Amino acid sequence: MITLTLGRPRLTTGLDEHERVDHDTHVRLHGELPKMTADDLITLTELGALPGRGGAGFPFARKLRSVLRSALRRRAPARVVVNAVEGEPGSAKDRMLLERLPHLVLDGAELAAHALGAPEVVVGIADRAPSGADDDPVRESLRAAVAERRSALGLRLVQMPHRFVSGQSGALVQGINGGPPVPPGQPRRTSENGVAGLPTLLSNAETYAHAALLALGGAYQYASVGTADQPGTVLLTVGGSVVVEAPAGTPLVQVLHMCDTAPGQAVLVGGYHGAWLSPDVADRVRLSHAEVADAGGTLGAGVVLPLPRTTCPLGEVARVLRYLAGESAGQCGPCLRGLPALAESFSALVTGESGPEPALAAAAVGEGRGACAHPDGSALFARSALAVFGEDVSEHAREGGCGRPVSGLLPLADGSTDRRTRLSLDWSRCDGHGLCAELLPDLIRLDRNGYPEDQRVTVPDALAADAELAVRMCPALALRLSSQG
């Protein structure tokens, strides 16, 4: 992992001399952490205009105030959670912070815990390193940090499955509570009902690191860089492996040039629930939540993925959509049927078998009807691709392709490819028993004659066992499972 800094380092202070900043070095660089009341911390983070850095950009001060009100109203202790699960394949910034600068994150979390009267800090991480290695540097760094700090405050480490939806706040809370680590079927406010059913302050690792900087240096120093709407710096993951700290409002192209790359065909900003920016937009946009939103995108968790001109953009998007379909929690129709259909519609675009109309229709998959944000985020990614790569869609429709290979340049989890499990129906064997629809009601629909409507469907991981059972139980032996890359 490479870490670069534009301008004077803030979050990344000390990394020019140290591979990992231990506690003694951290205190020497930043000073001792002050203790603050909840009201003082709310005022400070309001002055710093600190937005959450996990994706939605929700103001941190509003979260604090909401948790405090809930705790006072219920006369219940609050809880503090650091979300560093980072299920987004293109993001590495939170992992970098915990691996190399753990005390900055823990300072921010401890500051909030003392202010809210929380007895411990819970840190959620993925259950393995992105490389799949057993020895996770993040886990080891956090264990060392606990010994270095000698704090009376408890620190609990919770590991989550390394999946895309595991990074959603609801999934993390359910995992901490001992339940299935997937988003809850119905939205709930963690500020009211979080860990152990108690009011919970939950933000990502970078947000807590910024809160610590505010407390250690003051709002005036913090706001000496950045924009009026978003003071301070942002952490960006460029190309999936380079973490860059830059003042908010820095031109995107300046960050790309620092990483020896260019906008290419387009730049994906915000990750796989983000949006594509065309080269001309990428040339002028500045990196803050407000300015990226004005350009039609979302800064999200700070993922920046430029797409070189050497690869087929529609093929790249199709393989990511297949990955997203397989990463769903399997809790609702928009995920179970909608996301596979969206992925298939883009596969048809790649081969020139259809135009954009079926893909646009499939991109209406979410529209707020999903059990979590996964369908809507995936649809945003797909719709922006249709808008930015419109000429490629036309070329594929005319020529059956663009002549460029699908190089697999957009990162997937653990470097995996877009392997899919497909359930296929042999029409010559099917007798219309309908048992498959009973076993797989979310995947298989019967026509008016009692036969499955679709000959092939993509099976999400969550339904793999049910699909295997349907294959074994089919009286006519008309079903089969296969894996395709």
Reported as a single tens digit per residue, the pLDDT across 247-263 is 999 999 999 999 999 99
pLDDT tens digits for range 387-418:
999 999 999 999 988 999 998 899 987 544 34
> Beta 266-269 vs 275-277: how paired, if at all?
antiparallel
Tokens encoding 368 = 């707020």
pLDDT of residue 419: 46
Percent of the chain whose predicted confidence (pLDDT) is above 70: 95
pLDDT of residue 133: 53
Predicted local distance difference test score (pLDDT) of residue 192: 92
State the pLDDT at residue 24. Answer: 96
Which of 83-97, 110-124, 406-420 is least confident? Answer: 406-420
Q: How sure is the predictor about 454, in pLDDT bands with cuts at 50, 70 and 90?
A: confident
- Of residues 85 and 472, more confidently modeled: 85
pLDDT band at 208 (very low <50, low <70, confident <90, very high): very high
Amino acid at 334: P
Nearest to 203 by CA among 1, 369, 21, 45: 45
For the residues 291-301, what does the mean pLDDT come to?
90
Which contiguous run of DSSP H or E holds residue 201?
A: strand 200-204
Q: In what order do the strands lie in the sheet with 154-160?
A: 154-160, 120-126, 79-84, 200-204
Q: Which residues contact 369 (CB under 8 A, 6 or more apart)?
A: 332, 333, 334, 375
Higher per-residue confidence, 237 vs 334:
237
pLDDT value at residue 420: 56
User: Which pLDDT score is estimated for 152?
Assistant: 81
Paired tokens of 190: 């963690």
Give CA–CA dist 210/60, Å, rounded.
10
Closest CA to 153 of 112, 191, 194: 112
Selected residue with higher pLDDT from 195 and 326: 195
pLDDT of 437 over the 60 cut: yes
Instruction: Retrieve residue 247's tokens.
Output: 């003042």
Query: What pLDDT is recorded for position 417?
Result: 39
* Class of residue 387 by CB neighbours under 10 A (exposed 0-12, middle 13-18, buried 19+): middle
Mean pLDDT confidence for 48-72: 89
**pLDDT for residue 139 is more than 80:** yes
pLDDT band at 465 (very low <50, low <70, confident <90, very high): confident
Parse the chain into domains and list their residue ranges. 7-222, 313-415, 420-484
Q: pLDDT digits over 371-391, tens only?
A: 788 889 999 999 999 999 999
Q: In what order do the strands lie in the sheet with 2-5?
A: 2-5, 242-247, 233-238, 303-307, 266-269, 275-277
**Closest to 305 (Cα-Cα) out of 405, 384, 229:** 384
**3-class SS of residue 429:** coil
Domain 313-415 has CATH 1.20.1440.230: yes
pLDDT for res 198: 95
Contact 280, 258 (CB under 8 A): no
Residues 335-364 pLDDT 10s? 878 888 899 999 999 998 888 898 898 888
Q: How confident is the model at residue 51 (pLDDT cuts 50, 70, 90)?
A: confident
Is the pLDDT assigned to residue 278 strictly greater than 90?
yes
pLDDT score at 129:
57
Whether 189 shows a pLDDT value over 60: the answer reads yes
- Model confidence at 483, in pLDDT bands (50, 70, 90)? low
Q: Determine the Cα–Cα distance for residues 106 and 146; give it in Å rounded to an integer.
A: 9
Residue-level pLDDT at 394:
93
Candidate from 28-42, 183-197, 273-287, 448-462 with smallest mean pLDDT? 448-462
- pLDDT at residue 193 above 60? yes
Residue 418: the pLDDT is 45
The predicted structure's pLDDT at residue 462: 62
Contacts of 137-142 with C-beta under 8 Å, sequence gap 24+, read 137/99, 138/84, 138/95, 138/98, 138/99, 141/20, 141/98, 141/99, 141/100, 141/102, 142/98, 142/102
pLDDT of residue 441: 84
Higher per-residue pLDDT: 421 or 20 = 20
Q: What is the CATH number of domain 7-222?
A: 3.40.50.11540
Q: How far apart are CA 209 and CA 288, in angstroms?
A: 18
| Strand, helix or coil for residue 460 | coil
What is the structure's pLDDT at 130?
55
Confidence of residue 442 (pLDDT cuts 50, 70, 90): confident
Mean pLDDT of 121-146: 82
Region 420-484: CATH code: 3.30.70.20
